[in-house]
Structure 1
Amino acid sequence: MNTSGRLQVWAPKPTRIVAVAGDHRLSMIKDEHDWWRPAEPLPDDLGNGDFDYGFLLDDDEQPLPDPRSRRQPNGVHELSRTYDPTDYRWHDQQWTGRQPAGAVIYELHIGTFTPEGTLRSAIGRLDHLVELGIDFVEVMPVNAFNGTHNWGYDGVDWFAVQESYGGPAAYQEFVDACHQRGLAVVQDVVYNHLGPSGNYLPRFGPYLTTGHSTWGELINLDAPGSDEVRAYIIDNALMWLRDYHVDALRLDAVHALVDSRAVHLLEELATEVDSLSSRVGRPLTLIAESDLNDPRLISSRQAGGYGLAAQWSDDFHHALYVRLTGDSTGYYADFAAPGALAKVLQHGYFHDGGWSSFRGRSHGRPLDLTETGTWQLVVCSDNHDQIGNRAAGERLATKISFEQLRLAAVLTVLGPFTPMIFQGEEWGARTPFQFFTSHPESDLGRIVAEGRLAEFAAMDWDTSVVPDPQDPQTFIRSKLDWDEPVTGEHADLLTVYRDLITLRRCEPDLREPRFGQLSVRCDDAAGWLALRRGMIEIMINFSERPVRIDGNPGAELFRAGQVRGVADGVELGGHAAVVVRTRTET
């Protein structure tokens, strides 16, 4: 970390380094571990305040930014600027943290959450999340990337906060404001690849290794020099949790972390985070995104797992999406199988070792339902990937009716897993969330756009509706319209979400973490599903036709649509749902 005038950099590749700092050029010397530091004490004028700096490698004439830069005020290709996070005066001394069990997560993108698209403007909307009943605010990546707007997954300076969002000071203000409102913060971080523009790490050391993932060369986790690369990642994770008071990290696409070492990076990271949690005295959580359906991610280290707290689970989304829309194209095909949604609710995974037609092979492994808590699976009816990776970037809200959106809300919020709501979902936002970029390099922008078209063509999707990621209007269209939630059906749906989250918080059976305490009945042909959680039963009619569900219902806790009690059961109108407290336990 370069703060308070300190300059140091790990760089085994160059034979000579000169630091450019302020008006000075400082010779550097290397120790036995390939860390370079100034050969002489720093000049007095570098000892106070922030200054710009960079590193000249060998015969370079243009200094490169610091691999651990805390600020890139003029972009990822320019000089770094020192920033000392301890200068910020926090106001969250009463904050004791938040466990993910029983929580509701809200995912947002800083650039599109508000018209201004900044961290400080996002603070002005936090009360909306408090009123909604949110516990965790999950922020899509904010590390520095090339350009002005981006999803965030093309970051190249992992230690720096994107300047167009407000930089590191604004980020601290945002986290502080969340904590003062009782909101925990999840930061989405990307350790499996680097963006295509501004990545100077390979000039300094062996950060990359042979082999390719979807996004290019692999991060070096197990080849020579990987000790420092792993330390780079772990130090970055600890920085967010320690210096910026973040409560949890969402680890992007961990299936792309290729690591053959005896102790996997994820296990090492979990150990270090647990240690930091003990020192700071508050819960710190790691949540993985993975499409492997591998229980090792969330199994305890004692049981041979990596010890992460939770993981995203796409199977729930896919099964619910197919049930709501009838779309079974591409990777949705398997989830059209009878009982797919019921299986996910009862077993966590749909693909748990069986055949995956999309992959052309068997996939996944069963969860140990006696060890796994239902809350360890984070689920949604929409998220940035599911929306943005549709050809036109359209939300579920534009594909189904408001009545069906209520059904999605009921099952996502009151189901057994940890629910996550994507920005605007709570009022059925009509604005899309399209894939947008702002690469200054025209050739790179063209390559990205052509790559998107090729991906959709390979799945036989209509490429004529795919927006140009480089078109500024693609970004502008994706911003939330905050006039929507106060009108008509949007306001009604927002009330539904608030009521459901309140019900979830008030009913212990709806936060029960054991798979063994739930059961599912369903009739896919008739279109209904009934989920029993302790004394509470959630009955949903996905079809347009009325259905009758047998049971022994008692007090009604929530309804959506036409509901009529009948002898020994309930009659639900088309696209209706009811939540009842039954007279007998599961």
Structure 2
Amino acid sequence: METSINMLTPGVKISHDTADIVLWAPFAKVAAIVIKDKETLMLHQRERGYWALTTDKLLVGDQYKFRLDNGKELPDPASKYQPEGVHGWSEVVDLNAHKPHDDDSWQNIPLAEYIIYELHTAAFTTDGTFKGIAQKLSYLKELGITAIEIMPVAQFPGTRNWGYDGVFPYAVQNSYGGYKGLMQLVDACHKQGVAVILDVVYNHVGPEGNYFNEFGPYFTSKYNTPWGNAVNFDDAGSDEVRKYFIENVLMWFRDFGIDALRLDAVHAIKDFSPKHILQEMREAVDELMAKTGKKHYLIIEFDLNDKRFIDGIENNGYGMDAQWIDEFHHALRVTAGGQRDGYYADFDGIEHLAKAYQDAYVYDGLYSYERQKTFGVKTNNPGEQFVVFSQNHDHVGNRMLGERTSILFSTSMQKLIYAAVMVSPYLPMLFMGEEYGELNPFLYFVSHSDDELITAVREGRKNEFKAFHSDNEAPDPQAEQTFLSSRLNWSSLDQREHQAMLAYYQLLIALRKNTPALNNNDRNKLEISFHKENQTIQLHRWEGEQHVYCYLNFSQTKQPFELPANERLNVIFRSEEKTDNRDNMLQPESIIIYANCYV
């Protein structure tokens, strides 16, 4: 009996001594698989544009391409490995043969306990591979990290790229260590008790090595996006495109043991189907979890302030587990004295920071002058559904010179900014290197092979910053030095000031973990007050009989603060040793945290 169309999954699947080959190519009249240095086998046409073949002539390690009726030989859109890069042959792999057997005992940690560390595989260590990350796991564990977030690893052109130009969603970047290296890293993380979040991109596909249009309607001209035609999630042929990406989600969880996915810029996913693609992904993941007993999370990057995306399906939402919330970052940066240009222009500082603490969304029905419209809705979703940060790859790398917080702010303000993140009722995230005050920039870098594309990227980067930094020129994204200068300088930790910053981060993370009032993510157990003129803000958080009071001073002068009456309080944390408790004066750019005797 023939396999049902609904059961077909894209790519090559090895089972015992046979290979099941599935290709979706509705534009083709004939299709064949060309096995390098062996033979060419014709595929059989199936319904709705599928081509399939079961054969014992394609083996693990064989390299192959598909040949369509136009004579072109193209890599597999669902390739699991591209050993020679985006233009080369696809290679047959058996993911099950490399999956660690002892990983079955691992259970994902609760989302509410995630303390996230975002990193770029090639820039994190001089090794530039998954193996290099694994060698730093004990360091991350000692820091207090409970989850790492890896920027996209889908195969991209060359060896230098942020990862958002990936063109093979199923293939792990060859220069990072490929699928074997990623599996080994996930296993190593789990043995250390660290969860793994993988950044994936479903809103667009990069330009170089993008052969999707040769096979079928993977894109639609119905919608315009910053990257051109939108991925086809609701136009003719969209059933198979949706299946392609849903199967990709399941592969990361099922075959690689990834604990959570961070879906890039889902506001750029255009889908007006009766059932949104994100909801369909949620349902597929729920079905997988019911079968395996494993827990997996879907986290989205999202800037529409629309709670439907993170509401449960039972509440007519799309069921995403959490979202990045840039508004907290924007309000925090403006409060700390950052420039109010671009997307920061809508944020007035401490008043909006207080609102971000209290309401999650700053714009929850307010008029936005930057967007020129009333924007957002109110949300009562729990705190663990929001990921906050003082910096990330975007907000560092999208600056022309890639300056980190360590360059833009004083040491005392850096410490205050991160403490502001850690005392929030949300999930905290660090960007690699910030914990010790890394001074190297994180710049935008690529390694394309197409001269016209290289020129276009260079000119685009220059034009983006025409109105800024007139004395400087945007670093060349294609230059190897741009990438090399973005790598972490681990030798910084030989210097006392960087050691001190690292110790500060460790202490602050431990405080959050060990203080129930700071670790409960309950937005209902939070009171906020602020003084705009003094640039101070107070958070009162509690859990049971434990009460914690956090006083933050974003001004450059001493400011008074008032302790609650009739409370027996002790100082449990301070960012500046000079703070004088006796006169209730808070040092400039500092935080002090009190708790009652139940700590």
TM-score range, shorter chain: over 0.9
- Distance, in Å, in 2 between the alignment partners of 1:184 and 1:507 is 22
From 525, 528, 551, the equivalent of 2:563 is 551
Partner of residue 355, structure 1: 367
The 5-angstrom pairing of residues 328-347 of structure 1 reads 328-336=340-348, 339-347=351-359
Note closer, same or farther for the CA distance 1:408–1:146 as it changes in structure 2 (3 Å cut).
same
- Distance, in Å, in 2 between the alignment partners of 1:129 and 1:584 is 30
Partner of residue 295, structure 2: 283
Counterpart of 2:451 in structure 1: which amino acid? S
From 260, 264, 270, the equivalent of 1:248 is 260
Counterpart of 2:133 in structure 1: which amino acid? A
From 363, 378, 391, the equivalent of 1:366 is 378
- Distance, in Å, in 1 between the alignment partners of 2:499 and 2:514 is 23
- Distance, in Å, in 2 between the alignment partners of 1:32 and 1:114 is 48
- Which deviates more, 318-327 or 467-476? 318-327
Partner of residue 3, structure 1: 13
From 125, 149, 153, the equivalent of 1:114 is 125
Note closer, same or farther for the CA distance 1:446–1:227 as it changes in structure 2 (3 Å cut).
same
Counterpart of 1:186 in structure 2: which amino acid? I
Is residue 176 of structure 2 the alignment partner of residue 165 of structure 1?
yes
Partner of residue 439, structure 1: 448
The 5-angstrom pairing of residues 16-95 of structure 1 reads 16-22=30-36, 23-38=38-53, 41-43=55-57, 46-47=58-59, 49-60=60-71, 62-90=72-100, 91-95=102-106
Preserved contact between residue 154 and residue 196 of structure 1 (Cα < 8 Å): yes
- Distance, in Å, in 2 between the alignment partners of 1:238 and 1:309 is 16
- 1:460 Cα offset (Å): 4.7
- Distance, in Å, in 2 between the alignment partners of 1:146 and 1:78 is 11
Is residue 184 of structure 2 the alignment partner of residue 178 of structure 1?
no
- 1:94 Cα offset (Å): 2.7
Structure 2: segments with no counterpart, 5+ residues: 1-10
Preserved contact between residue 391 and residue 463 of structure 1 (Cα < 8 Å): no
Note closer, same or farther for the CA distance 1:510–1:337 as it changes in structure 2 (3 Å cut).
closer
SS at match of 1:242: helix
- Distance, in Å, in 1 between the alignment partners of 2:336 and 2:308 is 31
Partner of residue 101, structure 1: 112
- 1:351 Cα offset (Å): 1.2
Counterpart of 1:398 in structure 2: which amino acid? I
From 565, 581, 586, the equivalent of 1:565 is 581
Partner of residue 450, structure 1: 459
Structure 1: segments with no counterpart, 5+ residues: none
SS at match of 2:21: coil
Counterpart of 1:130 in structure 2: which amino acid? K
Preserved contact between residue 69 and residue 81 of structure 1 (Cα < 8 Å): yes
The 5-angstrom pairing of residues 117-516 of structure 1 reads 117-210=128-221, 211-336=223-348, 339-367=351-379, 369=380, 372-457=381-466, 460=468, 462=470, 464-516=472-524
Counterpart of 1:374 in structure 2: which amino acid? G
Note closer, same or farther for the CA distance 1:421–1:338 as it changes in structure 2 (3 Å cut).
closer
- 1:528 Cα offset (Å): 1.2
SS at match of 1:453: helix
Counterpart of 1:419 in structure 2: which amino acid? P
Partner of residue 7, structure 2: none
In the comparison of the two structures, how many residue pairs are matched?
574
Partner of residue 522, structure 1: 530
Counterpart of 1:505 in structure 2: which amino acid? K
The normalised TM-score by structure 1 is: 0.95
- Distance, in Å, in 2 between the alignment partners of 1:295 and 1:486 is 45
SS at match of 1:131: helix
- 1:338 Cα offset (Å): 5.4
Q: What do residues 131-186 of structure 1 show as CA deviations (whole Å, max 9, x unaligned)?
A: 01111110000000111110000000000000010110001001000000000000
- Distance, in Å, in 1 between the alignment partners of 2:87 and 2:433 is 34
- 1:462 Cα offset (Å): 4.0
- Distance, in Å, in 1 between the alignment partners of 2:22 and 2:284 is 23
- Distance, in Å, in 1 between the alignment partners of 2:296 and 2:444 is 31
Q: What do residues 333-359 of structure 1 show as CA deviations (whole Å, max 9, x unaligned)?
A: 221255111011000011112122222
- Distance, in Å, in 2 between the alignment partners of 1:462 and 1:396 is 21
- 1:461 Cα offset (Å): 5.4
Q: What do residues 247-267 of structure 1 show as CA deviations (whole Å, max 9, x unaligned)?
A: 000000000110011110111
- 1:243 Cα offset (Å): 0.2
Counterpart of 2:123 in structure 1: which amino acid? T
SS at match of 2:142: helix
- 1:584 Cα offset (Å): 11
SS at match of 1:530: strand
- Distance, in Å, in 2 between the alignment partners of 1:463 and 1:239 is 48
Q: What do residues 500-543 of structure 1 show as CA deviations (whole Å, max 9, x unaligned)?
A: 11111111111223222101111121121111111011111111
- 1:274 Cα offset (Å): 1.6
- Distance, in Å, in 1 between the alignment partners of 2:185 and 2:44 is 39
Preserved contact between residue 99 and residue 255 of structure 2 (Cα < 8 Å): no
SS at match of 1:464: coil
- Which deviates more, 538-547 or 168-177? 538-547
- Which deviates more, 462-471 or 13-22? 462-471
- 1:576 Cα offset (Å): 1.8
- Distance, in Å, in 2 between the alignment partners of 1:102 and 1:42 is 47
- 1:232 Cα offset (Å): 0.4
Preserved contact between residue 325 and residue 399 of structure 1 (Cα < 8 Å): no
- Distance, in Å, in 2 between the alignment partners of 1:428 and 1:17 is 55
Preserved contact between residue 11 and residue 204 of structure 1 (Cα < 8 Å): yes
- Distance, in Å, in 1 between the alignment partners of 2:399 and 2:450 is 25
Counterpart of 1:117 in structure 2: which amino acid? G
Preserved contact between residue 563 and residue 577 of structure 1 (Cα < 8 Å): no
Cα root mean square deviation, aligned: 1.6
Note closer, same or farther for the CA distance 1:166–1:172 as it changes in structure 2 (3 Å cut).
same
